Structure 1
């Protein structure tokens, strides 16, 4: 399995001061080193070990509130449904649910997690292209807000399941607007070539078909054009304009349209990107969909959760190659796969106070997995980092723990929530024994000598 390495950039990387200045929940303390809110990260590492994911509850609340206020400030009747695929930690979901957030789920497991975290079913949306009959039935029994249907075949399946249960499914039709979000190809979802949604020209007939089927109540339209969108509002505006046009056409035919799901996708600044603000997104929704007077929904994940989290790791050793310095960590691509999968850039900060101000030189930051792709950064300016030194990967609160695996028989990392001066382990480190606990050797294979 060969994975692409992080791509080089034409501009210098931000230095440690720049990275900290844009992340108010992180501070460099003269004695404690890197601190999240009021908790030294070194303290967590000493007690929990590494690798460990650490999330800031205050940052989750602040970013959710900023998005909610932007929508309200634009005069929109809107609800926010956190994309659980970004971070399905029960603690994270509980923090956001307590603030009023709903959830956008794409599997039975995510639906159960949202409910276990206390998010009411009436605030849950079920998206995704491959819902099973079992998942549809669970969604109907729970009484969720809506199911976003993504194909003609799925519409027939929802009708069959709901009718057999004697229930009515609230269904929104996800359209594919064929709009380029100008993001990474692997997280683009709004082009005609992508697997998501109904072709735009097929939507009117399918929506009318939904209205005629037993067990289905059409409630509106949904759209989502991709993730980590940073290049202005053009893609959003184009997609929402197509949704508005379609909604008007459907209502003109006497078909019911109760609400519009705008999806997610608003990007963040991992390195030096300048993504649009929540206010700009709210303005685009207001300009394109506002005249319809319908409630709207958003499904953000990364924008809320990514900046709230870090991945703590320890240096195993430094290795001097012929021409390079390698910093080898106890975290690997099985923990944080984004650099290997998406060529993603994450800020890396030393945790010790002296290391934050020590002279730096280029280093390749790698993990111990037996893959060349197990590389987090190349030529990154870092100080000398002896064995045991701690580093923090920034903006790791989304698509970090949820995408991790046990590749190379490496246990899943621990998770911690920080809330002011308090902190707690919210998922203990997976014991090594758990990797084998659920495996069975057929009896005909006998035993080893």
Structure 2
């Protein structure tokens, strides 16, 4: 469920007509709904009610500080994967003790940054990283709390580029080597082992891969405890998918996911961490764009928009589907026509959809890409010297620009010309 609905023939974000925002900030722009962000976070929090738990939002999905502050106010922790994300979380008011640091390539500078600023735990992904962290912690006179990310070799049945839990993926330590790695961790002077971490991928639409992974984690927990390790926290990652098209069968609900966690891991008495990102932010955001031209091609019509692949890369990178709808509600029964929906970037890859059935559209009309809140703005770029587009947050009848569109001068003046030129 989201809060982008037609009202009086016009698509609204909560109580604000999208055309009103377009007039104020120009197009294209991202728009997020506070009510949807709140609802989706609370679904996860309520799914684990009665268990000792923390929902850490995976901020790589959408990391604007206004979004982070909205979720932090609801009690969310943050899952970060870089020093920059760590600093962004702090700037949004999230205390270090509610921040989990994940990622396969943490540098010593990033480790030092988090140890000095405060951290809930590091999710360690290799022995070299663990040794480096111990050295940094010892140099600072502190001890770093860690979980070790284990790779359970489970097929998440998702896109190859976002699968992370198979043996050929770069993430984590093979679960078959976990006991030896935990033994080494226990002997390192700057490390405190507190738990186990697992994350098998993103956009999962079935619960069975989670079940397989969590059963392996349960078995490992008991083995490690038998060897004297104080396993008191299980970080289960995220990955629950969202419906990108209204016609698809809906993925499992957070309540079903919570029930699975209770069933597979509830008997262990561990604190549970989960790290949802896409399901919190995905359907809480849309991308609004204007039709520049309708072009007749050979056997096809092109809908040329002012949004491009640099604004929303997912279709070009993952062949991802986003529902595209007109901002002005079409009349009932209007005949639809197939369009190739494209942007103005000089690449054939700048294509959002091929043969997409839409009502007839004309130059100057607005369209909205649904389910664009996750991995939209955060993956955008200034390719073709196109400005990063505004981000707007709606709260009831109010809206605010939470990231402004830079001017061409601001973009170009970031360059520095060497003295010899």
What TM-score results when the alignment is normalised by the length of structure 1?
Answer: 0.92
Query: Deviations 1:243-288 (Å, cap 9, x if unpaired)?
Result: 1111111100111112000000000101114211111111111111
Alignment partner, residue 220 of structure 2: 246
Aligned pairs for 1:143-158 within 5 A: 143-158=118-133
Alignment partner, residue 54 of structure 1: 31
Is 1:107 the counterpart of 2:85? The answer is no
Contact map agreement 2:96 2:120 (CA 8 A) in 1: yes
Alignment partner, residue 69 of structure 1: 46
What TM-score results when the alignment is normalised by the length of structure 2?
Answer: 0.98
Contact map agreement 2:237 2:275 (CA 8 A) in 1: yes
Question: How many residues are treated as equivalent by the alignment?
Answer: 419
Alignment partner, residue 166 of structure 1: 141
Query: Deviations 1:180-203 (Å, cap 9, x if unpaired)?
Result: 000000000000000000011111
Q: Distance in 1 between matches of 2:282 and 2:75?
A: 19
Alignment partner, residue 3 of structure 1: none
**1:135 Cα deviation (Å)?**
0.5
Contact map agreement 1:76 1:295 (CA 8 A) in 2: yes
Alignment partner, residue 202 of structure 1: 177
| 3-state secondary structure, aligned to 2:287 | strand
Alignment equivalent of 2:280, drawn from 288, 304, 307: 304
Alignment partner, residue 11 of structure 1: none
**1:78 Cα deviation (Å)?**
1.4
Contact map agreement 1:218 1:256 (CA 8 A) in 2: yes
Is 1:264 the counterpart of 2:219? The answer is no
Alignment partner, residue 282 of structure 1: 258
Contact map agreement 2:330 2:359 (CA 8 A) in 1: no
Alignment partner, residue 444 of structure 1: 420
| 3-state secondary structure, aligned to 1:379 | strand
Alignment partner, residue 428 of structure 1: 404
Alignment partner, residue 17 of structure 1: none
Is 1:220 the counterpart of 2:195? The answer is yes
Aligned pairs for 1:16-95 within 5 A: 23-31=1-9, 33-72=10-49, 75-95=50-70
Contact map agreement 1:349 1:356 (CA 8 A) in 2: no
Q: Distance in 1 between matches of 2:98 and 2:349?
A: 39
Alignment partner, residue 9 of structure 1: none
Contact map agreement 1:355 1:383 (CA 8 A) in 2: no
Q: 1:343 to 1:146 in 2, by over 3 A?
A: same
Q: CA RMSD in A?
A: 1.2
Q: 1:156 to 1:58 in 2, by over 3 A?
A: same
Contact map agreement 2:303 2:340 (CA 8 A) in 1: yes
Contact map agreement 1:318 1:327 (CA 8 A) in 2: yes
Is 1:411 the counterpart of 2:379? The answer is no
Aligned pairs for 1:169-188 within 5 A: 169-188=144-163
**1:105 Cα deviation (Å)?**
0.2
**1:435 Cα deviation (Å)?**
2.1
Q: Distance in 1 between matches of 2:198 and 2:224?
A: 16
Q: Distance in 2 between matches of 1:119 and 1:406?
A: 29
Q: Distance in 2 between matches of 1:85 and 1:355?
A: 39
| 3-state secondary structure, aligned to 2:48 | helix
**1:384 Cα deviation (Å)?**
2.2
Q: 1:355 to 1:432 in 2, by over 3 A?
A: farther
Is 1:392 the counterpart of 2:348? The answer is no
Alignment partner, residue 4 of structure 1: none
| 3-state secondary structure, aligned to 1:44 | helix
Q: Distance in 1 between matches of 2:396 and 2:147?
A: 39
| 3-state secondary structure, aligned to 2:56 | strand
Contact map agreement 1:81 1:297 (CA 8 A) in 2: yes
Q: Distance in 2 between matches of 1:45 and 1:141?
A: 43
